[in-house]
Amino acid sequence: MSSLDELYEKLGVRKGISAAGTATIYGGSKLRPEVTQIMIEASTVMLDMDELNIAAGKMLGELTGSEYGLVTSGSAGGLLLQACAVIAGDDPAKMARLPDTEGMKNEIIIQRSHRFAYDQCYRAAGAKFVEIGDGKRCHEWQLEAAFSDKTAAVAYLFSPGLSKMALSLDKVCEIAHSKGVPVIVDAASMLPPRENLSKYHKSGADLVIHSGGKGIRGPQGTGILSGKKELIKAAYANAAPHQFLGRSAKVAKEEIVGLLTALNNFVNEDEQVENFDFRNKSQKVVDAFSETPGLDAAVKHDNVDYLTPVSSLYFTDEWEGPKAGEILQRLQEGNTPIFMHNLIHPDELIFDPLNVDDDEVDVVIKKIRESMD
């Protein structure tokens, strides 16, 4: 027995299988082995963190098709720094006062359909939201009318399952820039596809955050902030190792090295080969349930709500067994919990193969079958 198995047994923690994509609650993603290796090496090399962060920022700029980058503590830590940067800049007198933003430009305009749980990270830096549009759509005039002399930025969210009727990023950038206001983007879970690494910069976004521990399979605690050099410099001024608000979201030297390695390998991989593998695993699950009455099983992949190939098990009105939510519960029972989700539709179980090894697919199929009885 490995010492990890011994420890988990002592703690009473079960080892599971995550077919829930890159959900942080189930462990995020499996770290790339080559990343684990370089992190071990980097963990005992002492150096100047400014030197490392500045060099890493240059490489991140190249890899994301933007001017500069910064490794952050997850996307959540990156959102905090986006807000710090647009509100306080790199002015130490302002930076030291955060999250007290009285008298500063502290308003962030956001479409109501883009409000989400993580936007608390913006508010944690003292940002005040100016909400526009309704929960679904937003008009250009509503954005035009929302600017004031206290506007710090316009926030923009990309995430599967969002309204397709929000103002486009291109339009938002065009209007915001005409007022001299930056646009900050949360695209945490939008990789792969790899094209999304540079896509939002091409639309004109000033700062973009992507998670390092989701589809890239870098260190779970990392994020990639990329964009305009002046704003990245301001974000970094607010961040660890400096002693301002971002210090609460510290990133370790080995995490920076791990993220650079993961991202470099991620961008150089063949996405078609990867998708072929995801599709095969997904098809295997679909085939196992294609004859089940009351169940519509299909592989889905549309680059919008299903960013990589997954299997969708949709329970129709003819389904007579337990509800999808009950099945999700049952899957998590026993010695090997299996994690799936129904986040897109309550009656649709998603099998996402991104973190499922070849030999785990049959284990998942067997347990889904048992959980349906």
Give residues in contact with ligand PLP (CB under 6 A).
Answer: 24, 74-76, 118, 159, 186, 188-189, 211, 213, 223
In 3D space, the residue among 131, 130, 128, 85 whose CA is nearest the CA of residue 103 turns out to be 128
Report, in Å, the least distance between residue 343 CB and ligand PLP. 11
Report, in Å, the least distance between residue 278 CB and ligand PLP. 19
Quick one: 251 or 328, whose CB is closer to ligand PLP? Answer: 251
Quick one: 115 or 366, whose CB is closer to ligand PLP? Answer: 115
Q: Which residues contact 323 (CB under 8 A, 6 or more apart)?
A: 315, 347
Quick one: 148 or 168, whose CB is closer to ligand PLP? Answer: 168
Report, in Å, the least distance between residue 77 CB and ligand PLP. 6
In 3D space, the residue among 169, 177, 216, 182 whose CA is nearest the CA of residue 71 turns out to be 216
Rounded Cα distance between 225 and 223, Å, is: 6
Q: How far is CA 51 from CA 1, 2, 35, 248, 370, in A?
A: 42, 38, 21, 20, 55
Q: Is 153 left (phi over 0), alpha (psi -120 to 50) or beta?
A: beta
Quick one: 232 or 361, whose CB is closer to ligand PLP? Answer: 232
φ and ψ at 132, to 5 degrees? -130, 155
φ and ψ at 346, to 5 degrees? -60, -25
Quick one: 16 or 215, whose CB is closer to ligand PLP? Answer: 215
Quick one: 238 or 371, whose CB is closer to ligand PLP? Answer: 238
Quick one: 88 or 259, whose CB is closer to ligand PLP? Answer: 259
Q: How far is CA 325 from CA 212, 321, 340, 369, in A?
A: 29, 11, 10, 15
Angle between helices 49-64 and 229-238 (to 10 degrees): 140
Quick one: 211 or 371, whose CB is closer to ligand PLP? Answer: 211
Is 69 within 8 Å of 59 (Cβ atoms)? yes
Report, in Å, the least distance between residue 189 CB and ligand PLP. 4
Segments of 10-98 assigned E as strands? 17-18, 68-72
Report, in Å, the least distance between residue 149 CB and ligand PLP. 29
Q: Is 76 left (phi over 0), alpha (psi -120 to 50) or beta?
A: alpha
Report, in Å, the least distance between residue 23 CB and ligand PLP. 8
Quick one: 82 or 371, whose CB is closer to ligand PLP? Answer: 82
Is 212 within 8 Å of 187 (Cβ atoms)? no
CB nearest ligand PLP: which residue?
74
Please give the structure tokens belonging to residue 210.
């992507």
Rounded Cα distance between 227 and 70, Å, is: 9
Q: Is 340 left (phi over 0), alpha (psi -120 to 50) or beta?
A: beta
